[in-house]
Amino acid sequence: MAQDVKCSVDSCSFWKHGNRCSADAISVMNYTEERARTSHETGCRTFKPNHGL
């Protein structure tokens, strides 16, 4: 399992300095009914807005 998860979405409450993700677990969903072939066909369900921005 990955020890260092990178994320550049600084509007997420799990985003930390250095583009690091501080979530305990990551959940990614498939946007299509078929097998995803690109990252654009998937989405992070772990995202939680940082309302302090």
Indicate the SS3 state at residue 41: helix
pLDDT, tens digit, 9 for 90 and up, residues 5-44: 999 999 999 999 999 999 999 999 999 899 999 999 999 9
Range of the domain at 42: 1-53
- What is the distance of C-alpha 37 from the center of its chain? 17
- With cut-offs at 50, 70 and 90, classify the pLDDT of residue 2: confident
Measure the CA–CA gap between 36 and 42, rounded to whole angstroms. Answer: 7
Helix, strand counts (H, E) of the chain = 0, 4
- Find, among 16, 9, 20, the residue nearest to 49 by Cα: 9
Output Rg (C-alpha) for the chain, integer angstroms.
12
Q: How many domains does the chain have?
A: 1
